[in-house]
Chains A and B, each alone.
Chain A
Amino acid sequence: MTDLTMKPVDVVIVGFGWTGAIMAKELTEAGLTVLALERGEYRDTYPDGAYPKTIDELTYVQRGKLFQDLSKGSFTFRHAVADVAVPYRQISAFKPGTGVGGAGLHWSGQHWRVLPEELQLKTHYEGRYGRKFIPEGMTIQDFGVTYEELEPHFDFVEKVFGTSGVAYKVNGKIVGAGNIHEADRSADYPMVPQKVPYTAHLFGKAAKEVGLNPFVAASSNASGPYVNPYGCQMGPCNFCGFCSGFACYNYSKASPNVNIMPALRDVPHFELRPNCNVLRINLDSDKKKATGVTYVNADGKTVEQPATLVIASTFAYNNAHLFLVSGIGAPYDPVANTGVVGRNIAYQTMSTVQMFMPMDTNTNPFIGSGGNGVAVDDYNGDHFDHGPLGFIGGSPVWCNPAGVKPIAGIPVPNGTPTWGLGWKKAVKDNYLNTVSFDVHGANMVYRDCYVDLDPTYTDHFGTRLLRFTFDWKDNDIKMSQYVTGKMLDVAKAMNPTSIHVAQKKLGDHLDLRSYQTTHWAGGTAMGTDRRTSVLNRYLQSWDVHNVFAVGSSVFPVGIGYNPTGLACALTYWAARAIREQYLNDPRPLVSA
């Protein structure tokens, strides 16, 4: 079945987004011959982000020029184990990427670490509230790595990304006006925070008035000129408002293309092959070792690529897909409660609050920077007593002026018709007079929320699509309603003319029709127990020791923040383990 067999390499990397690029940098530094295979096309600031043609909402947002081409493959969804899944036919609720840079080219740039307690979610909640506090069917567990172990990597990620922000505590000393809930840091952010646009300013002022602790959120949109540790350069963000869905024309938004690729281009033992879609990781006869991968190249030829080490760095859920089609690890079965691959899939439990302000407020919402804004962390994680509330988890909240563009939806007050003169007058009156904030809730993991292979639908290559079985649970909706309710005090303190709250009600189902977030996590969980995880604490497959997986697929639980900072810190953590422990003695790094 193979048309071509290529020259063996030390390492093959499957997927060239943030985590694939980090692995390529780390493993070429270790002297290894590294080949990265990317299913999509080659992309870079020029021409894919070139001004002015990139400033085109229709082409990049509604037609999704940088997103995954669903005509070649998609996913299926169902709400419950007994249902028949149907395909995700149009890009709507989430926007998967493709091409060199992956979703890291079109992301917005919100940059967070993780709350230490979220890395030990099960231990933390059981310790503070008792075992019975965790509801039946919720399958939360620990990552198997601590914040202290990851801290140097979080710090380095921020330096690579040129993150703009302000710390609260560095080495135990209060140094700045950052997030009072933030865990201790070894250094401040490499760049000062960005300027604060008007809506975020109004949000911060109102939050302070009601006794909360707002701060300028960290963004990987450069507040000034910057050179990262790899020698890659960034220019100051000019708040063009075209971040999410776009490649930054200004070299201001961190991306693998801007912040890592320039340092790899001249490395002779690195090769990047775009338009190469990996079909599977190949295993030897006893399924204990990978021998490389098989992919389809741009000419449609099936190619075998031998490699000594395989890194799965596809987007989130796709690592579970790759493991399932390759036969690595036991597929999860929610009924028998056996197997692990595909288990513990998490999303985010979002709600949005919009404040309609008097005429001539002039919030100028076209001014924006993807990751920029003012946030409140008082209701995130376990920063508040959950005892009397009866739910697990929390939500960071932020006003993130990322550039409101007119087609995607100008907020209009409750009761506005969707068309006609009433709609027209409402968009005219409200475009320049609206403030909006998001409650970006964590989503817990459950026994019956998982991914496996769809029995019916296939992709362009004839491979079965990944099937999501997923729905909202009362715990998460209660959490979202509680935090959203608290945040209404902030909304009211802005003295708006009216408020619109978009939040889930108990019994609501996952609704794929409008954009929520692209932050899926899980499927190839890391952990300390191979009965509940696919990877050990170094992101190494328990079953096939020369396969490592990186990206948000390794999160065993959902987190409150955006995942990129954590996904990348964990990648450096795994890279260090490979470089310092694995290469000189390839073996399982943790005995099962």
Chain B
Amino acid sequence: MKVIGISPHRRNFLRKAVTAAPAVALLAGAGIGVAASVAPPGAYQPTYFSADEWRTLTALVDRMIPASPEGPGAVEAGVHAFIDAQMNTPYAHGRLWYMQAPFAPDSKPEFGYQFHMPPRDLYRSGLAGLDQAAQSRFRKPFADLEPAQRDTMIVALEQGLLAIGEVPPKTFFGQLLANTREGYFCDPVHGGNKDMAAWRMIGFPGARGDYTDWVEQYGKKYPLPPASLA
């Protein structure tokens, strides 16, 4: 492996980052205080979502990014675990947003998010509403639906055609889509993108952060595997 122009300190970091996946305590404090340790997806115990919510969320993200030969599915990548971990951050409490009333949820869409719930409440309400919608339509909880049935419901959410209670369907879909992509492509330090598999799929080198010798190698595939903060 060719390593040029970086300090021994950085070189050590990169080596560790590539080889030492379990060493999560190595570089603690990635910024927002998320629990960094991630067990295999099957064993992850949600800290915010109830058992029913967790099943619904898992079944949702499983269809948002399904497993396929191209690369990991959202469940394999730990997207649901990421979303659960995020629920304990200031972000999910709405503390990064301007949340002063009055809210005008019927504003033109160009004005962006105008709904009163922060992510924690939005998921709580929306997941329950989605499950109820599945019950009334298919007489089953959402998590027990066939993949094609779940897809139909997600399409309806995206188009704003599926009522799920208080949360406008498009608002719920937008939140889910944003958090799914985040959990899929974030640094594994945040609990998603397990084993950097989503980065490997697309060819993103993660936290390497040093490409001076590669800028002018036009059209050549970058040879090094990704590096993570975890």
Question: In the bound complex, do residue A458 and residue B100 qualify as a contact, i.e. CB atoms below 8 Å apart?
Answer: yes
Nearest B residue to A78 via CB reads: B111
- Give Cα distance in the complex from A69 to B96, angstroms: 6
Question: In the bound complex, do residue A87 and residue B98 qualify as a contact, i.e. CB atoms below 8 Å apart?
Answer: yes
A356 to chain B, nearest CB (A): 14
Of B89, B94, B182, B218, the residue contacting A198 (CB under 8 A) is B218
Question: In the bound complex, do residue B109 and residue A362 qualify as a contact, i.e. CB atoms below 8 Å apart?
Answer: no
- Give Cα distance in the complex from A74 to B198, angstroms: 35
A residues less than 8 Å from B96 (CB atoms): 63-64, 69-71, 90-91
Nearest B residue to A62 via CB reads: B182
B60 to chain A, nearest CB (A): 10
* A64-99 with Cβ < 8 A to chain B: 64-65, 69-71, 73-74, 77, 79, 84, 86-93
Of B63, B94, B113, B214, the residue contacting A367 (CB under 8 A) is B214
**Could you mark each residue 29-49 of chain B with 1 if its beta carbon is under 8 Å from any beta carbon of chain A, else 0?**
111100000000000000000
Question: In the bound complex, do residue A510 and residue B97 qualify as a contact, i.e. CB atoms below 8 Å apart?
Answer: no
B residues less than 8 Å from A425 (CB atoms): 68, 70
Question: In the bound complex, do residue A410 and residue B202 qualify as a contact, i.e. CB atoms below 8 Å apart?
Answer: yes
B156 to chain A, nearest CB (A): 13
B residues less than 8 Å from A419 (CB atoms): 63-65, 154, 158, 177, 180
Identify the stretch in A232-240, A283-291, A439-447 within 8 Å (CB) of chain B at 4 or more residues.
Answer: A232-240
Is B136 in the interface zone, CB < 8 Å from A?
A: no
A residues less than 8 Å from B227 (CB atoms): 52
B residues less than 8 Å from A51 (CB atoms): 10, 13, 209
Of A77, A362, A421, A513, the residue contacting B219 (CB under 8 A) is A362
B213 to chain A, nearest CB (A): 9
> Taking A51-B10, A57-B187 as contacts, is the C-beta distance between A511 and B110 under 8 angstroms?
yes
B residues less than 8 Å from A366 (CB atoms): 204-205, 211, 222
Is A58 in the interface zone, CB < 8 Å from B?
A: yes
- Give Cα distance in the complex from A55 to B230, angstroms: 12
Is A201 in the interface zone, CB < 8 Å from B?
A: yes
- Provide the main secondary structure of the chain B interface: loop
B residues less than 8 Å from A242 (CB atoms): 209
Question: In the bound complex, do residue B110 and residue A406 qualify as a contact, i.e. CB atoms below 8 Å apart?
Answer: no
Of B64, B71, B206, the residue contacting A420 (CB under 8 A) is B64
A residues less than 8 Å from B222 (CB atoms): 362, 364, 366
Q: Give the A interface residue count (CB, 8 A).
A: 70
Question: In the bound complex, do residue B104 and residue A84 qualify as a contact, i.e. CB atoms below 8 Å apart?
Answer: yes
Question: In the bound complex, do residue A431 and residue B204 qualify as a contact, i.e. CB atoms below 8 Å apart?
Answer: yes
Is B15 in the interface zone, CB < 8 Å from A?
A: no
**Could you mark each residue 302-341 of chain A with 1 if its beta carbon is under 8 Å from any beta carbon of chain B, else 0?**
0000000000000000000000000000000000000000
- Give Cα distance in the complex from A52 to B9, angstroms: 11
How many inter-chain residue pairs (CB < 8 Å) link A and B?
Answer: 193
Question: In the bound complex, do residue A240 and residue B182 qualify as a contact, i.e. CB atoms below 8 Å apart?
Answer: no
Question: In the bound complex, do residue B211 and residue A87 qualify as a contact, i.e. CB atoms below 8 Å apart?
Answer: no
Is B52 in the interface zone, CB < 8 Å from A?
A: no
Question: In the bound complex, do residue B211 and residue A406 qualify as a contact, i.e. CB atoms below 8 Å apart?
Answer: no
Question: In the bound complex, do residue A58 and residue B190 qualify as a contact, i.e. CB atoms below 8 Å apart?
Answer: yes
Of B97, B185, B214, the residue contacting A406 (CB under 8 A) is B185
Question: In the bound complex, do residue A367 and residue B204 qualify as a contact, i.e. CB atoms below 8 Å apart?
Answer: no
Is B151 in the interface zone, CB < 8 Å from A?
A: yes
B residues less than 8 Å from A71 (CB atoms): 94-99
Question: In the bound complex, do residue B27 and residue A88 qualify as a contact, i.e. CB atoms below 8 Å apart?
Answer: no
A residues less than 8 Å from B63 (CB atoms): 419-420
- Give Cα distance in the complex from A57 to B40, angstroms: 23
- Give Cα distance in the complex from A351 to B3, angstroms: 39
> Taking A70-B98, A71-B98, A89-B112 as contacts, is the C-beta distance between A367 and B215 under 8 angstroms?
yes
Is B5 in the interface zone, CB < 8 Å from A?
A: yes
From B100, B154, B215, name the one whose CB has the most chain A CB atoms within 10 angstroms: B215
A residues less than 8 Å from B177 (CB atoms): 418-419
Is A195 in the interface zone, CB < 8 Å from B?
A: yes
Nearest B residue to A407 via CB reads: B185
Is B54 in the interface zone, CB < 8 Å from A?
A: no
Of A74, A406, A513, the residue contacting B199 (CB under 8 A) is A406
A residues less than 8 Å from B113 (CB atoms): 89-90
**Could you mark each residue 235-258 of chain A with 1 if its beta carbon is under 8 Å from any beta carbon of chain B, else 0?**
010111110000001000000000
A residues less than 8 Å from B181 (CB atoms): 407
**Could you mark each residue 190-216 of chain B with 1 if its beta carbon is under 8 Å from any beta carbon of chain A, else 0?**
100000001101111111111110111
* A26-75 with Cβ < 8 A to chain B: 51-53, 55-60, 62-65, 69-71, 73-74
B residues less than 8 Å from A458 (CB atoms): 100
A residues less than 8 Å from B112 (CB atoms): 88-90, 92-93, 512-513
* B108-122 with Cβ < 8 A to chain A: 108-114
Provide 23 A-B residue pairs closer than 8 Å at the C-beta atoms, listed in order of the A residue: A51-B10, A51-B13, A52-B27, A53-B30, A55-B209, A86-B107, A89-B114, A90-B98, A91-B96, A196-B215, A240-B208, A240-B211, A364-B220, A410-B202, A420-B64, A420-B66, A424-B68, A425-B68, A427-B202, A428-B70, A431-B202, A512-B110, A512-B111
15 more CB-based (< 8 A) A-B contacts, given A56-B189, A432-B221, A513-B109: A63-B32, A63-B91, A70-B96, A79-B110, A87-B100, A89-B113, A89-B114, A238-B210, A367-B215, A407-B186, A421-B68, A424-B66, A425-B68, A509-B108, A513-B112
Residues of A within 8 A of B (CB): 51-53, 55-60, 62-65, 69-71, 73-74, 77, 79, 84, 86-93, 195-198, 201, 236, 238-242, 249, 360-362, 364, 366-367, 405-407, 410, 418-421, 423-425, 427-428, 431-432, 456-458, 509-513
